[in-house]
Structure 1
Amino acid sequence: MTTTTQGFATIQQRDLVNQIADMLTEALLKGEFSPGVHLSEAQLARDFGVSRAPVREAARLLESRGMLVSQPRRGFFVRTFNADELDDVYDLRLCLERHAVRLLAGKLTAEMEAALSHQLETMRQVARDGTAVQQIEEDVAFHRMLCEFSGNQRLVRVFDELCHEMRFCILLIGQLYDDAMRVADTHEPILEALRTRSPDAGEAALDYHIGVAQQRVVEMFRERTQG
């Protein structure tokens, strides 16, 4: 009986940690904490109405996702990035998605194609009516589908972890999608290439799509951080 009670207590505590981590992530992505700012455990604990322990665990989780950094005896700080680090994020992302597209190209089903087409239309809708944060989220969702449909679930998990950094970096730039509809439309060639069932065509379309995005985003990030 004692073991069962302790098990439930652990689950409840872990759920609390994840809830705090999710709320902190949302605040970071909305720019409520500036790069380099110190996050006070005591203040956050008061804000959330909890003890400091789950706040500390949530901060450690965000540190593992590349959004916070810790300093001995000083606590946690919002991570700062440089252009070279962002370039590395895109390089790794390209490696993951290349593999995903090659796995997916030969087994694209009608249901997968329909889901990707629907997501593309969602991106266009958000480009017309949504916020910058929504545009980024729907963009990421399209690329996550490529990884998910590849059938490699470990690849999906790595993609998810990497995208925490990528979203954060993009939002540090500010208004990235000055022509959000054009950005949404650039995903169409990836879907067209997948329809050919050719791994080479899929990889080539993805290389071009992410390569252009990588160059643009990294250049904007370099200009912003040097400005």
Structure 2
Amino acid sequence: MTKAFHEFSTLPRSDLVSQVGAALTDAVLSGRIEPGQRIPESVIAREMGISRAPVREAARQLESAGLLVAIPNRGFFVREINARAMDDLYELRLAIESAAIVRLASQAGDRGMPRLRACLKRLHDTADEDAPQAQVAAADLAFHRAICEASGNERLLAAFDQIAAEVQMGLVLIGCIYGDADRVAETHRPLLDAIAAGDVEQARAAIEEHIGTARRLVVQRLQQRDLGPPGKAVSRRQAGRAR
């Protein structure tokens, strides 16, 4: 008999795939469904009071977004992030956001500033509310997306959206490393100041420092996790068996 998953509730019938996708995304990014864990389509469908078809379609969308992987004859699993993959992701992220912030800083006027200020305030609000780390990461992601959107380059925004879910997984980890949402929020201040000043070189340097620091912290944390205790390397499969 299949064990209940106890992560999902019954859904209304409108726009099922989007609702299932949102629920799955939240469960993955919040860590309630862990990396490497299988997505039990039939159990989730039963708990939501729907058929398996919307669950399967939502899982396919999350696979495209980089959150899940499909294994033939076994189903969908939460993607396991590792140091190499995250390093590659941050390299791509830096290329996208560097182009976006330089383009935005070079434009005259106050374009995007009200939205960016609101996003930064929301980041600070998550600290005041002692919000879960997934909410802090979502607010962090919204700030960076706002830069891409305000740049006016739709291709940059589309490229950012393509990697957004995987980026958010990294942001959750960053928040855990810092352990302080206010500190996370303040790391965004130099970006806002450079854009407001219209200083292209300052903006480029600020985004390189911001994403570069995050990249180092995330990669180091994942390398430490994969190696295990000093002097005793542990593979992901061995770690899984030990749990």
TM-score by length of 2: 0.81
Amino-acid identity (%): 43
Other-structure match for 1:221? 222
Residues 140-195 of structure 1 show CA distances to partners (whole Å, capped at 9, x for unaligned) of 11111100100112322221221201222444688233232222112111122122
Tell me: higher relative CO, structure 1 or 2? Use CA pairs within 8 A at least 6 residues apart. Answer: 1
Give structure 2 stretches of 5+ with no counterpart.
1-12, 229-243
CA contact (8 A) 2:83 2:223 kept: yes
SS of equivalent residue, structure 2 residue 69: strand
Contact 1:170–1:176 (CA under 8 A) maintained in structure 2: no
Secondary structure of residue in 2 paired with 1:151: coil
Q: Which residue matches 1:91?
A: 91
The one-letter amino acid of 2:23's match is M
TM-score (norm 1): 0.86
Instruction: Specify the alignment match of 2:116 in structure 1.
Output: 116
**Partner AA of 1:176 in structure 2:** I
2:75 matched residue in structure 1: 75
Match of 2:19 in 1: 19
Deviations 1:103-130 (A, max 9, x none): 1112253362233223222222222323
Q: Which residue of 1 aligns with 2:107?
A: 107
Contact 1:31/1:172, CA 8 A, preserved across alignment? no
Q: Could you tell me whether the CA contact under 8 Å between 2:137 and 2:175 is conserved in 1?
A: no
| Post-superposition offset of 1:33 | 1.2
Describe how 1:1-227 pairs up with structure 2 within 5 A: 15-107=15-107, 109-110=109-110, 112-131=112-131, 132-171=133-172, 175-227=176-228
State the AA in 1 paired with 2:43.
Answer: Q
Do the aligned residues in 1 keep the contact of 2:105 with 2:199 (CA within 8 Å)? yes
Larger deviation, residues 151-160 vs 80-89:
151-160
Give per-residue Cα distances to partners, 1:14-65, cap 9 Å, x unaligned: 9321211111111111212121111122112212212222211111111111
Structure 1 pair 201–55 and aligned structure 2 pair: CA distance change class (3 A):
same
Corresponding pairs, count? 215
C-alpha spacing 1:171/1:112, structure 2 compared with 1 (3 Å):
closer
CA distance 1:129–1:225, change in 2 (3 Å): farther
Structure richer in helix, relative to its length: 1
